[in-house]
Amino acid sequence: MLRFVKSYMESIIGIEVYPLISLIIFFTFFVALFWWVFTAKKEYIETVSNLPLDH
C-alpha cells in the first residue's frame, strides 16, 4: 500500500512544496499561540479559568 502511495505522490509535479507549507503553517500557529500565552493579562486568564465554576 505504501509503495503505491509513494509512487503516485512522486508522479505529481510540485508535490515537494506541500510538506514545507504545512510545516510553516503549523510552526507559525504554535509560535503565535506561545506568544499569546505569555502576553495575556493575568486578570483575563483568571476570569476565563473561573468561568466553568461560576454558574
Assessment of whether the complete model's pTM goes beyond 0.75: no
- Which residue in this structure is represented by grid cell 500557529? 29
Q: Which residues of the chain have pLDDT under 70?
A: 1, 55
Q: What is the pLDDT of residue 24?
A: 97
Residue pair 41/48 in contact (Cβ under 8 Å)? The answer is no
Question: Residue ranges of the alpha helices (H) in the chain?
Answer: 2-10, 17-39, 42-50
